[in-house]
């Protein structure tokens, strides 16, 4: 996919009934940080956790 290929996110926008789409909770995490069991996995996990926290905060506003 490439590190900066965020284009795949737009594919999901065709499903507005999905909660993640409706609440703008589609996030990109660079694949090299989460697809291989290397020390960089911790960096990817941190980014993923931050994105999940962002989604949780949005959820609390509704």
CA distance 3 to 20: 22
pTM of the model: 0.70
pLDDT at residue number 61: 67
Residues in Cβ contact with 47 at an 8 Å cutoff, skipping those fewer than 6 apart: 29, 30, 33
pLDDT top residue among 11 and 50 = 50
Tell me the pLDDT tens digit for each residue of 2-37: 566 667 788 888 999 999 999 999 888 888 888 888
């Amino acid at each position: 996919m490439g590190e900066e290929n965020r284009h795949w996110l737009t594919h999901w926008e065709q499903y507005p009934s999905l909660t993640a789409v409706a609440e703008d909770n589609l996030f990109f995490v660079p694949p090299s940080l989460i697809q291989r069991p290397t020390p960089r996995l911790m960096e990817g996990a941190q980014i993923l956790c931050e994105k999940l926290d962002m989604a949780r905060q949005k959820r609390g506003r509704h």
